[in-house]
Structure 1
Amino acid sequence: MTENRSHPLSNARLDRVTAKQVPDTPQTRAPQYRLAFADEDFLCRPELRPVRLQLELLKPELALDEDGVESTVVLFGGARIPEPAKKDTARTQTLADLSRFYDETRKFARIVTEQSDGKKNVIVTGGGPGVMEAGNRGAMDAGGRSIGLNIVLPHEQAPNEYVTPELCFNFHYFAVRKMHFLMRANAICVFPGGFGTLDELFESLTLIQTGRMHRVPFLLFGREFWEKIVNWEALADAGTISADDLDLFQFVETAEEAVKVLNTWEDYSRRGEIPGR
């Protein structure tokens, strides 16, 4: 979105520059004199939280619109899962065994990107290490773009090197970040992970279950992992979810299997149908 240069009111960007050129006096040094939109201390006040929420919603939205990104394939998964070549560094044997999903993620992202026109089904990850890195890396392997939605955390200092720089964003609010994951989602793929992955999985499923988001392919990579972590059938047996809710997702093991599900779904969608489990 660009400013209308013929607008009769003064340009905000120009005023920001002009305001820095005023004489240095006690009055102009006072923080109260700063332009409100150029005053970082003011913008970080607790009372400005609603404004910051709106800014975090708008900045990536405008950038993705300007870059022509129409839809995405979302990849959720653990930051601690190493690539197979580095599985000896894993803190547990289970993590070392799960390293195969690094390769499956990378392969899946490569195939999806090869099938994409660069606007539809663009890979999006959390921009960090592990499964997220593998997703962005796979898109780069295919010569395509991918999105990284990072968040400020004490133990993660920078996005992985495979995120497309102009599609790399940083967030303060988890809630707004999760909105951006889902706003353009054509598919959601969840790889083994921890609390963050579980949070993303269940919020996404809840939105689909409650009709607040349209149904999309929802793929859980690694049946053995997910059935050990979550007793899905027990939820249905208890009546806390309906048996039909178990049809909202399906298990896959390989990149090729997942791509087949996505392509089949698209074929059904063109006919106005939703494939079964």
Structure 2
Amino acid sequence: MAGPSKTQRRFPDAAEDQATWERQLDTPQTLSPSYRLAFADFDFLKRDELRPVRLQLELLKPEMELQDRGIVSTVVIFGGARIPERPEDARRPGLAKLAHYYEVAREFARLVTLTSLESGCAENVICGGGGPGVMEAASRGAAEAGGVSIGLNIVLPHEQAPNLYGTPELSFNFHYFGIRKMTFLMRAKAVAVFPGGFGTLDELFETLTLIQTGRMEPMPILLFGEEFWRRIVNWEALAEAGTISPADLDLFRFVETAEEAMAAMRDWRAGPEGAAD
């Protein structure tokens, strides 16, 4: 339920009280940190005891902004920050072999965004990590299609500066990995996972775990690059060992191209086991 309008409000709102506080004369009392309004006292908000409050704020800020903009669903793209646009830009030979996935991610995001534009950018909005590599390709493809993209950045000592293609009004910054991952999946209609490192693996397996355990509704999980993913994970060995069910291997599908991924999303069947056709 919406809160009272300004004409209905009986008490001053937070902005009004902050403005009044800032106009006060400087005295030893008003200059004391203890006199600051609690919501405007950043030193207070950063205390360890306020972590539960910060967790809630970090969840609410992007959620309320996306609600205000009418964004209903997203297509999430995960992938490595180190994937270069061109093989010659690769830091290591192995990355040069993965460079073509930059263009695949860019084209996939472009095609998804074209469908998003048909809904007025309410459905199928591209959502990525907001950083370089595959994340940049996702933002870039969405921008080239004339749409918007959501960027969920996180404060890291390296690799995670925002790319220049993301929609500024939909670029968010996180302190907590857990809240960021939850935000990725809250509106997800499909998840596309490109080659990446520990972060990408973490995001992929959390998504699969939530679906496998029934904590999240099944959706298309598209793994780009079958050769890469079969080298990284021995999926069948997990089923043979009994640590997952054979049906769990149907929770995802390997794809190679943007067009193949679009077709897989269209044809996906969310049956009792969340299997694909």
**Post-superposition offset of 1:263:** 1.6
Distance (Å, rounded) in 2 between the aligned partners of 1:202 and 1:144: 29
Equivalences for residues 54-73 of structure 1 within 5 A: 54-73=56-75
Equivalences for residues 103-118 of structure 1 within 5 A: 103-116=103-116, 117=119, 118=121
**Post-superposition offset of 1:273:** 11
Distance (Å, rounded) in 1 between the aligned partners of 2:202 and 2:104: 22
Q: Secondary structure at the match of 2:152?
A: strand
**Post-superposition offset of 1:3:** 6.2
5+ long unaligned stretches in structure 2 = none
Which residue of structure 2 aligns with residue 239 of structure 1? Answer: 242
Letter in 2 for 1:46: D
Q: 1:178 to 1:157 in 2, by over 3 A?
A: closer
Q: 1:146 to 1:232 in 2, by over 3 A?
A: same
Q: TM-score, normalised by structure 1?
A: 0.95
Q: Secondary structure at the match of 2:29?
A: helix
The number of aligned residues is: 272
Residues 247 and 273 in structure 2, CA contact (< 8 A), matched pair in contact too = no
Which residue of structure 2 aligns with residue 130 of structure 1? Answer: 133
Distance (Å, rounded) in 1 between the aligned partners of 2:156 and 2:112: 29
Q: Secondary structure at the match of 1:29?
A: coil
**In the alignment, which of 157, 182, 185 is matched to residue 185 of structure 2?**
182
Residues 81 and 159 in structure 2, CA contact (< 8 A), matched pair in contact too = no
**Post-superposition offset of 1:93:** 1.3
Q: Do structure 1's residue 219 and structure 2's residue 206 form an aligned pair?
A: no
Which residue of structure 1 aligns with residue 97 of structure 2? Answer: 97
Which residue of structure 1 aligns with residue 276 of structure 2? Answer: 276
Distance (Å, rounded) in 2 between the aligned partners of 1:225 and 1:255: 16
Which residue of structure 1 aligns with residue 13 of structure 2? Answer: 11
Distance (Å, rounded) in 2 between the aligned partners of 1:201 and 1:32: 45
Report Cα offsets for 1:140-181 as digits up to 9, x if no partner: 010000000000011146310111011000000000000000
In angstroms, what is the RMSD of aligned CA positions? 1.7
Q: 1:45 to 1:3 in 2, by over 3 A?
A: farther
Report Cα offsets for 1:160-207 as digits up to 9, x if no partner: 011101100000000000000000000011000000000000000000
Q: 1:3 to 1:92 in 2, by over 3 A?
A: farther
Q: Secondary structure at the match of 1:206?
A: helix
Letter in 2 for 1:95: L
Q: Secondary structure at the match of 2:222?
A: strand
**In the alignment, which of 163, 166, 191 is matched to residue 163 of structure 1?**
166
Q: 1:157 to 1:79 in 2, by over 3 A?
A: closer
5+ long unaligned stretches in structure 1 = none
Residues 132 and 161 in structure 2, CA contact (< 8 A), matched pair in contact too = no
Residues 154 and 160 in structure 2, CA contact (< 8 A), matched pair in contact too = no
Segments of 4+ moved more than 6 angstroms: 271-274
Q: Do structure 1's residue 42 and structure 2's residue 49 form an aligned pair?
A: no
Which residue of structure 2 aligns with residue 196 of structure 1? Answer: 199
Q: 1:30 to 1:159 in 2, by over 3 A?
A: same
Which residue of structure 2 aligns with residue 250 of structure 1? Answer: 253
Q: Secondary structure at the match of 1:147?
A: strand
Q: Secondary structure at the match of 1:63?
A: helix
**Post-superposition offset of 1:276:** 2.7
Q: Secondary structure at the match of 1:178?
A: helix
Q: TM-score, normalised by structure 2?
A: 0.95
Name the % identity. 64
Q: Secondary structure at the match of 2:30?
A: helix
Letter in 2 for 1:69: I
Which residue of structure 2 aligns with residue 24 of structure 1? Answer: 26
**In the alignment, which of 205, 210, 225 is matched to residue 208 of structure 2?**
205
